[in-house]
Structure 1
Amino acid sequence: MTENKDGWDEEILRDLFNARDQQCIKKVELGELDMEDGVYWSQELHGNYSVRSAYRLLQRQRGYWVESDNNSVWRKVWRINASAKILNLVWRSLSFCLPRMSILGQKKVVVDTRCPVCKIESETVEHVFLRCTVAIQCWGLILSGMQYTCQNLHQWWEQALDMSDGGKKAEIATVCWSIWKARNDVVWNKKYTQVYVVIARAKQFLDQWRNAQKSAVCTSYPQLLEGDGSCVWVKPQESMIKVSVDASTFQEFNASGIGIVARNASGGMMVARTVCISELKTDSRNNRSYGDKRSTQLDQGSEMAKGYNRIG
């Protein structure tokens, strides 16, 4: 440009560019406004940098982002009614940021990059959740009858969520968590988990989480401790008494305590008793205190059990 910035400096253009490029440059109209150049972020329409657009750009450069399906699958995933740690695992798997053997191999770490569970092929995210023998058997049991035509994990998730209702979506996500937990048991503890255990653990965790969402902890004690209210008490069946027992030892006082509560089918308390054992003795054969043993020896008297068929 000329010193006045009102046109192209033809002498400089002739020195630096060939005839064709000169003609192309001259076709570019120069603005009439006297404005300073500034930084413009091309990934946003407003030109300002954002973490979201930078993340999308990096994922696209790595080949992990497909414009046609990523936005829809993310919306469906975040609508799953499941625990936060379950959704976090799904997000990490779809973002390909889970630690796995193939990543160590890429970083020149000398390890066996095959799947530690089945030892068939390299441990990628798709293999762990789709092609591993444990994953194949799990999906065959809980997604039987569903046909998939997917090429990657994003497409698999989108098809699985489209063909499932709300409850099944949460079950799928929780089974993914259980599959990953089974994989970690092999890596860190050399413990192999059977398929039915993987599914049972997922269903049990999901049921406990759902029950916890429905219940509220009501107590006069102002300072709740971690884990309070985590167990959900269930009423016994008709003609039954449910007896809840707990015991604890206090080494500093050389004592132990036992608590017993009996409730009927309507949830009403029938009997409540606490027992303190001031002298705590230890059985050297199995290192169990007599106080712990006595906690299991309940007094199921005739008065309390009158009219009931069974005490649980």
Structure 2
Amino acid sequence: MDAKLKGSPSFIWRSLWSSLGLLKEGLVQTPINTLDIETKVGALIDEDSNSWKIDLVETIFKEEEAKLICSIPISRSGASDRRIWASLERGNFSIKSAYFLETKLSNRSSGEPSTGGGNNSMWKDLWQLEVPAKAKLLIWKCLSNIRPTKDSLLRENIVESNLCPVCAREKETKVHVLWVCPAVADVWGGETSLFRKWKRFYPDFQQLWGEMTGKLNQESIELVVVLFYHIWARRNAYTFQTQFKNRATIVALAQADLSLLKEINLNSSNRAARSRGRGPSQSW
């Protein structure tokens, strides 16, 4: 739990390390050992009465901490101390509960969750876009503030710098990666681009997304979403593999994704129409 991210760690280790903050938030410790290195929690418990040594606890800990400690029920079976996952009553960790905890923590600062509240229409519009699921998921993570960046990782003491790994000039935020970074200027600033005259700076990704959905038609938004996905994928490829795709490749990949998905959806619709046209099968 106290490991440091040093040197040039592998992608797998970086991924595991990025979840430590979430684990620390969800885990709780049965009475914490703050005494001598060899002292156990049992030193704070009266074995005869099977209760806390209140005077000792109040001497060692602050008043509020002492009250919390003494409110912890003591096991009658003599079970050993262990860490438990506080998000579930049974204390066992699960991926599902970690997901809900991460979403809850993110929504402390980002507003309503995607399952309710005033943003229902925004989430509904997002999920109905005809783009690959991987692209919609990226937008959802960015809007929910759960897409890690160098800036957010620095605040969690996971990395030592929040500078963008591509331009190395400004702190890496979501809106920087997808819109502000000089490396994406050619994607959005081309002569035929809809965004050539748009302002460059937005305080956060949520405001940029809100302006886009307010001004663009669905077809343009779908192209933007897939471009966002490939811009972020290019950022990852450069960060971990020092590979960098040019503007033409990014645009071509986005257009290919959209064309393939439309073809798949069209074929599915045609098969469904033919199936309805044949009607129910007859039995003899």
Q: TM-score, normalised by structure 1?
A: 0.46
Contact (CA 8 Å) 2:107, 2:144: kept in 1 or not?
A: no
The code of the aligned residue for 2:111 comes to W
Distance 1:144 1:126, change over 3 A: closer
Please name the residue that 2:180 is paired with. Answer: 131
Q: Distance in 2 between matches of 1:124 and 1:182?
A: 15
Contact (CA 8 Å) 2:151, 2:171: kept in 1 or not?
A: yes
The code of the aligned residue for 2:137 comes to N
- Higher strand content, 1 or 2: 1
Aligned pairs, number = 166
Please name the residue that 1:215 is paired with. Answer: 267
> Which of 104, 111, 127 is 1:65 aligned to?
111
User: Matched residue of 1:215: which SS?
Assistant: helix
Contact (CA 8 Å) 1:113, 1:123: kept in 2 or not?
A: yes
Question: 1:145 Cα deviation (Å)?
Answer: 5.0
Please name the residue that 1:97 is paired with. Answer: 146
Q: Distance in 1 between matches of 2:118 and 2:188?
A: 22
Question: 1:72 Cα deviation (Å)?
Answer: 4.5
Q: What does 1:104-123 align with in structure 2 at a 5 Å threshold?
A: 104-123=153-172
Question: 1:150 Cα deviation (Å)?
Answer: 4.8
Contact (CA 8 Å) 2:227, 2:250: kept in 1 or not?
A: yes
Contact (CA 8 Å) 2:106, 2:145: kept in 1 or not?
A: no
Distance 1:88 1:167, change over 3 A: same
> Which of 121, 132, 136 is 1:87 aligned to?
136
Corresponding position: 1:160 with 2:209: no
Question: 1:112 Cα deviation (Å)?
Answer: 3.4
Contact (CA 8 Å) 1:56, 1:65: kept in 2 or not?
A: no
Q: Structure 2, unaligned stretches of length 5 or more?
A: 1-99, 271-284
Q: TM-score, normalised by structure 2?
A: 0.50
User: Matched residue of 2:167: which SS?
Assistant: coil
Q: Any idea what the Cα deviations from partners look like across 1:131-156, whole Å, max 9, x if unmatched?
A: 11233332223323554585321121
Question: 1:199 Cα deviation (Å)?
Answer: 1.5
Question: 1:173 Cα deviation (Å)?
Answer: 0.4
Q: Any idea what the Cα deviations from partners look like across 1:235-274, whole Å, max 9, x if unmatched?
A: xxxxxxxxxxxxxxxxxxxxxxxxxxxxxxxxxxxxxxxx
Please name the residue that 1:10 is paired with. Answer: none
Q: What does 1:1-312 align with in structure 2 at a 5 Å threshold?
A: 58-61=105-108, 63-65=109-111, 70-141=119-190, 142-144=193-195, 147=198, 150-216=202-268
Q: Any idea what the Cα deviations from partners look like across 1:272-299, whole Å, max 9, x if unmatched?
A: xxxxxxxxxxxxxxxxxxxxxxxxxxxx
- Higher helix content, 1 or 2: 2
Q: Distance in 2 between matches of 1:55 and 1:110?
A: 19
The code of the aligned residue for 2:169 comes to I
Contact (CA 8 Å) 1:101, 1:112: kept in 2 or not?
A: yes
Distance 1:132 1:77, change over 3 A: same
Distance 1:73 1:135, change over 3 A: farther
Question: 1:193 Cα deviation (Å)?
Answer: 1.6
The code of the aligned residue for 1:192 comes to F
> Structure 1 vs Structure 2: percent identity of aligned residues?
22
Distance 1:120 1:71, change over 3 A: farther
User: Matched residue of 2:110: which SS?
Assistant: coil
CA radius of gyration, larger in: 1
User: Matched residue of 1:98: which SS?
Assistant: coil
Distance 1:101 1:152, change over 3 A: closer
Question: 1:210 Cα deviation (Å)?
Answer: 1.4
Q: Distance in 2 between matches of 1:69 and 1:135?
A: 32
Flag as ranges the 4+ runs of structure 1 deviating above 6 A.
53-57, 66-69
The code of the aligned residue for 1:131 comes to V
Q: Any idea what the Cα deviations from partners look like across 1:156-191, whole Å, max 9, x if unmatched?
A: 112112222221111010000010110011012111
